Amino acid sequence: MVIIMKLAPVNKIIPFSNVDGPGNRTAVFFQGCTFDCKFCHNPETINMCIGCSECVSKCPAGALSCQSVESARAAADERSADSSTDSCKSPGADAGMLSNRRGSIIWDSTKCVQCDTCIRVCQSNASPRIRYMSVPDLIAEIRRTAPYIQGITVSGGECTLQNDFLIDLFSAVRALQDSPRLTCLLDSNGSFDFEADPRILEVSEGVMLDVKAVGKEWSRRLIGDPGDLVLKNLDYLLKAEKLQEVRTVIIPGRDTENEETVRYTASKIGNACDYRIIRYRPFGVRENFQKELGEDETPEEYAMKFVELAKQYGAGRAYLV
């Protein structure tokens, strides 16, 4: 009998990060997102590759190739047939050739020079440079950095699209016997109903939550969603004492919208957690949205006004990023 493990699409892994939660952490970014934020600086993580092959001929390093769905299935069947009885196999985790199983693009990581040409030519806000990884695959990566980190953070995209996988991953991290106790955090846009399914909170230290907008009209315009669930999660995570930090991006020139969002959020969180006020930066933002939101980053002096506003409304741990 061959046991096929759960797989999740991983966009990238940063072995050592000091901006994805407290301390030095390994950050795992999953592919796929529930929102379409205009100021997103990594929009290639929003959608899954559809296998259109537009990027294949454009790759200067020859790191991308096409494979038909039939060929991909045949290769997977062949690997399964070669596996020993009762063994566990993680398809797609073979070294070198890493297949995007939901499309038909094969990414050869040994040839890739990380030039981002594939991302620039993609019309679907996707990346072919993903790996379908199992929990053991990720645990193997985490073991390498475990002596030097305080924990792991899962991000995206939107990591909670892989909720069942994350429960298994966090449980496995907590079960590590040969490593220091590692904390597990989620970096979430708030589109997952944590109250309806709190299992992930039981195996994690908490959530770093984005409150991008308050007000349905502004929220729909900025992220493509009215944001009701985000605000519900803000209340629930506070009550459950699982809120690690909250982040809000300050858009230049949007005085009313910025003020409403910061005032509402600050009055909710008080001193319960850090409140990161983030300056909008155009780097990585799609060109059409740069024209709408601004081609210059939010001035520090302007953004600091909202740090002070947050503190006035009770968020004593507000600070500027």
- Mean pLDDT of residues grouped by 10 in the chain (321 residues)? 80 96 97 96 93 92 80 51 44 41 76 94 90 96 95 97 98 86 97 98 98 97 97 98 98 97 98 98 94 95 98 98 94
- The pLDDT, as a whole number, for residue 68 is 64
3-48+125-320 maps to which CATH number? 3.20.20.70
- The pLDDT, as a whole number, for residue 67 is 77
- The pLDDT, as a whole number, for residue 180 is 74
Q: Distance between CA atoms of 68 and 74, rounded to whole angstroms?
A: 10
- The pLDDT, as a whole number, for residue 2 is 58
Q: Taking the model in full, what pTM does it have?
A: 0.89
- The pLDDT, as a whole number, for residue 121 is 92
For the chain, domain boundaries = 3-48+125-320
- The pLDDT, as a whole number, for residue 127 is 93
- The pLDDT, as a whole number, for residue 73 is 52
